[in-house]
Structure 1
Amino acid sequence: MIDVHAHITSRNFGAQAFQEVLQSAKESGVQHIISVSETVHDASDVLTLASQSNGMIWPSLGLHPVQYLDGDNTSERSVTKDDWDKFKPILEKAIKDRTIVCVGEIGLDFSRHIIQQNPNNMVNDESELRQMQCDIFREQVEMAVKANLPVNVHSRSAGHYALNVLYECGARLVNMHAFDGKASYTKKAVEQGFYFSIPPSIIRSPQKEILAKVIPMKCLLLESDSPALAPEKGMNNEPKYIKVAAQEIARIKNIPVEKVIAQTTMNAIRLFKDHHQACLE
């Protein structure tokens, strides 16, 4: 199995826990984990931990649409141009050096608490905040397309908006992580060859269950989004729990779990490994 979206950082998993998490994942059948960045503060940490994983972690860098005040990871706000100006050189270098397997986590987040009446935002205009997110998302997608790299996309409360940006940019190598949009939005995306990764929280999410039902196996992937989206609400998630997502997909589609594991692993290799072998050699 391959976990295509996780947040393996020192903040989320301390030094000792880091090795334990990797060992538990291996014992559960996880071969690789794609660890994504969110801010300028965790980018180097993602790369460092990946270098200490004996090839198990495939690193990804991207600027998330939700940022934090002073990097404290507690006070959320919408991303700004200043955030992007600081992050862009880091992403440019990673792409040039081929040290990442995809660009992510990038995307849009139009959640009410992020763009409406949020005292942490630099501006109070919702349309301006949306446009800023779209501009930063679009620029990162364009960089990925130019480099022939996949994108790992966040689209909370903004599913069809994010998909439209991807269509407009001509993106073809796409994973929509934990997509929370309507199942009807996925039809065109599937036709374009986009992938959708399913987290362990599917066992408590009717919306994710519908997604897994309507999206063909050729377009499904497994993700943990560790330490979020665990099988049980309130617990810390780990890559090992992607087996739960695989089992639930198997139940929903009435196929053997071995088939789900084999297909999603092949899908992940096709999307990520086959397009950037240089990073993984």
Structure 2
Amino acid sequence: MKRRLMTLVLLGALTLLSSGPLFGAAGQGITENFDHGLIDWSNSTVRAEGMHAPNEKTGQPASPEAREHYVNRAVEAARANLSSILRRLTIHGDTTGGDVMGASREVVAQVDLMFLSIPMTEKRFLTDGSVQVTLTLPLKGAFSQLILPEEIRQINPIRPLFTSETSGALPTHDAYTGLIVDARGVDVIPGLAPRVVTESGEEVYGPTVISREYAVQRGVAVYESSLARAGQGLSAGENPLMVTGIGTTEDARTDIIISSQDAARIRADVSHTTFLSQCRVVIVLDPPPDKRRK
């Protein structure tokens, strides 16, 4: 089990060395950058910055009351920027957070309430008297519960069909603990609810097998920028099964196509219903260029 994990880490390191800067450094995650924040797909967070500059430059230190006022105004700006980013957050295919919120006043109201308790993860007083703050919203948990598609439902644990009584042939390997999809070189867009399908469009991973409880707690998938990072993380466990993405579907660049042979390998494993329903899936992508979206 540990030997396979070490193999994945070494493969990732060798790939980084042989491929040059295309894949980025092992410490670089998958992020989507905006003018006033970013979506960190590797850590499942959204960060937004806000700034407030006083209208008058007195040259004197601001009073405690004034500083508190400036901070509050900066937080308001950060919340507005966070709202803008969340509305452009990809859920699945062309569906964004803005589409979901636009279709439900209740979701908008719940997100607004959530904004009131978002932690301030950074606060800086600049030399010109301005204040800059950063708010960080976890995509997992309450936000995912609100925004994930309704078709991802709670699934009760499934008892594996394979037992020593039902088959005389035992697995030739330790049970897999998760799935790593190597989709580097494939034009994939990260999203909150990706799917994995075969060339014929048959769903291997998606709402039909995902349990909402785990999708909310863990995220449907974690995105990483290298096999080394994917192997070191906890999401896919110590003995992950690795398959290769060969394309995306015409309707949704969030959805990854794998070969029917890889799909058969997944389904042949006695534990696949468990690790798929529990969202133990990591998708490895090429690090995107550092382009900031307006």
Normalising by the smaller structure, the TM-score range is: under 0.3
**Structure-2-length-normalised TM-score:** 0.26
By percentage of residues, which structure has more strand? 2
Name which structure has the greater RCO, CA cutoff 8 Å, separation 6+. 2
Larger radius of gyration: 2
TM-score by structure 1 length? 0.27
